[in-house]
Amino acid sequence: MSLAGRVSAAFLVLIALMVALAGYHLSLVHRLHDDNRRLIQVELEISRTGLALRRTIDRLTRLTQIFFVRRDSDYPAEMQRLRDVVEEGIDHLRALRLTADERAVLARFAVAWRDYATAAPGVEAEFLDLGSTDKSPVEALGGLDARLIDLDRAARRAMEARIEASAAKAAKARATAWTATTTAAAAAIVLALLLAGSVARPLARLGRGTHEMAQGNFAFRVAEAGSRELASLAREFNAMADRLGELDRLKKDFVSSVSHDLKAPLASMQETTVLLLEGTPGPLAESQRRLLSLNRQCGERLSAMIGDLLEAARLEAGSVEFDLAAEDLAEVARQALAEAGGSIGARRLELDARLDPAPIAADRDLLLRLLWNLLSNAVKFSPEGGRLVVRTGAYAAAGELEAAFPRHRGALAPPVAVCEIEDAGPGIPDAEKEHVFDRFHRADPRRRGVQGSGLGLAIAHHLARGHGGELWVEDAVGSATGSRFALVLPLRGEPNVP
C-alpha cells in the first residue's frame, strides 16, 4: 500500500472509531432519556390521578354523609356525577404503562369500586323511598380511600425501583463509555504508532544510508521495503550509491594510475637534475645551479606527494599487508622522533617527550610511517619556538582512559597502549575534527600557507585501523590553542590484537 493510502486508511479508521463511539454515547443518552421520560409520564401521572381520585372520593363521602342526614333528592345526581369522574380516573390509570404491582393494586381498587358503584344507587333510592337505614355506601367509600393509598404506595415503590434501575443503567453506561473510550483511544494510539513506525523505519534506514555515504561507504545499501513511495526512494538511493561508488572507484583508479604513470618520468627528471648539479655535462653558473636546486626540491616534493597518493590508494583498496610482530610503542616513537629531529630542530621547538614502555603487536615500518606523519603534521603547524609534547604509555582502566581523552568513543576498550602527540598550533575547530583524516582535507584558512599534500593524516588513519587501533584529535590540554592527536592500539597478548 502506498504511503498516502496508509495515511488515508489510518485516518478513516480513526474517524470510524470516533463515529462509533459517538453513536454509542448517543444511544446511551437516548435510553436514559426514555427512562426518565417514562418516570415522569407514568409514575407522576399515577400519583397525580390517585390524588385527584382521593379528593373526589373524599367529596363523595361528605355528600353521602350529608345525604343520609338531610335526605335531599338533589344529592344523588351530584353523587352519580362524582362516581362517573372516578370511573374516568380508573380508565385513565388502566391506560398507563403500569408495573405488575401497580396493576394488582389498581385491580383490587377497581373491584372494590365496582362493588360500591353497583350497590350505591339502589341504597340511595331505597333510602329516599322507604327511609332505609342502610349506610353501607359510606363505609365502602372509607375502604376505597385505603385502596388508593395502597396504589400511591405502589407507585412510589415503582418510582424508587425505576430510579434505582436508571441509576444502575447510568453507572453501567458510564463504565461502558469509559471502557469504549479507553479502547478507542488505545486503538488510535496503536494505529498511530504502527503508522509512524511504518514511516519511521524506512526513513531511519535512509538516514543511516545517508550517514554511511557521507562517511565514504558507498557499498552500503538500503532495504527496499515499506510503502511504494519509500521503496521507490530506497531504490533511487541505492542507484545513486551505485553511481557514486562507481565514480569513487573511477576517481581512485584515475589517481592511482596517474600517480603511477607520473612516478617514472619524474624519477628520470630528478636523475637528470642530479647529473646536471654534479656537473657531468659540464660546469654550471651559480644562477643555473640555484635554479636546478630549486627544481630538484620541487621534484622531491612532487615525488613525495605521488608516493602519498599511491600509498593512500593501496591502503583504501586493502592491498597493504601488515606484518605484525612484537614491538614496543615507546621504541618506535623514539625512532620516529630521531628521524624528525632535523625538522624539530629547524623550527627550534621545545620537545617534551615521556616515552613509557607499551608492548604492542605492529608492523614496525608502517607504524613508524604513522608516527612520522603525525610528528610531521605537528611540526608543520607549530610556531617557531613552540612546544611539542610526545607521550607513550599503557592504560588499564576505561575510566582512566576516558578521563585522559574525553573524545575517546570506547570502540577499543582497555587495556590499551596510547601515543599522544600535542602541538602548539592554531588548533582545529570542533566542526573540523571529524574531517581532518579525510583525503585532501584542509582545515581553516589560517593553514593555507602550510605546504602538504593533505594525505598524511588520511594515511595515518588507515594505518591505525590496519593495526586494529583508533586515531582521533582533541584540543590541547591546558591551552587555548593547539591540537592533541591520540593513537590507541591493543596491548600485545590481549584478545583484540589482530
How far is 401 from 416, CA to CA, in rounded Å? 9
Contacting residues for 47 by C-beta, under 8 A, at least 6 apart? 152, 155, 156
Q: Please indicate, yes or no, whether residues 12 and 160 belong to a single structural domain of this protein.
A: yes
Please report whether residue 31 resides in a domain: yes
How does DSSP classify residue 495?
Answer: T
Please report whether residue 201 resides in a domain: no
Q: Please indicate, yes or no, whether residues 372 and 486 belong to a single structural domain of this protein.
A: yes
CATH number at residue 336: 3.30.565.10
The answer to whether the peptide bond before residue 415 is cis (omega within 30 degrees of 0) is yes
Q: Please indicate, yes or no, whether residues 280 and 411 belong to a single structural domain of this protein.
A: no
Q: Which of 285, 317, 349 is the last residue of a domain?
A: 317
How far is 297 from 303, CA to CA, in rounded Å? 10
Please report whether residue 218 resides in a domain: no
pLDDT in tens, 366-379: 899 999 989 988 89
Q: Please indicate, yes or no, whether residues 378 and 309 belong to a single structural domain of this protein.
A: no
How many separate domains does the chain show?
A: 3
pLDDT at position 166, please? 72
Q: Please indicate, yes or no, whether residues 82 and 13 belong to a single structural domain of this protein.
A: yes
pLDDT at position 210, please? 80
Q: Please indicate, yes or no, whether residues 133 and 75 belong to a single structural domain of this protein.
A: yes
Of the candidates 307, 28, 368, the residue with the CA atom closest to the CA atom of residue 166: 28
Burial of residue 428 (number of CB atoms within 10 Å: 0-12, 13-18, 19+): buried
Please report whether residue 199 resides in a domain: no
Q: Please indicate, yes or no, whether residues 15 and 106 belong to a single structural domain of this protein.
A: yes
How far is 360 from 172, CA to CA, in rounded Å? 76
Strands 416-422 and 350-355: unpaired
Q: Please indicate, yes or no, whether residues 305 and 339 belong to a single structural domain of this protein.
A: no
**326: β partners:** 361
**135: β partners:** none
Please report whether residue 386 resides in a domain: yes
Q: Please indicate, yes or no, whether residues 32 and 110 belong to a single structural domain of this protein.
A: yes
Domain that holds residue 149: 3-191
pLDDT in tens, 97-149: 888 888 888 888 888 888 888 888 887 777 777 666 666 766 777 777 777 78
Please report whether residue 496 resides in a domain: no
Burial of residue 307 (number of CB atoms within 10 Å: 0-12, 13-18, 19+): middle
Q: What is the DSSP string of 299-359?
A: HHHHHHHHHHHHHHHHHHHT------EEEEHHHHHHHHHHHTHHHHHHTT-EEEEEE---E
pLDDT in tens, 39-78: 666 777 888 888 888 888 888 888 888 887 888 888 888 8
How far is 238 from 19, CA to CA, in rounded Å? 44
Q: Please indicate, yes or no, whether residues 242 and 153 belong to a single structural domain of this protein.
A: no
Which residue ranges of the chain lie beneath pLDDT 50? 445-449, 494-498
Q: Please indicate, yes or no, whether residues 391 and 469 belong to a single structural domain of this protein.
A: yes
Q: What is the DSSP string of 82-129?
A: HHHHHHHHHHHHHHS---HHHHHHHHHHHHHHHHHHHHHHHHHHHHHH
Contacting residues for 241 by C-beta, under 8 A, at least 6 apart? 209, 213, 218, 219, 220, 221
Do residues 458 and 312 lie in contact, with contact meaning Cβ atoms separated by under 8 Å? yes
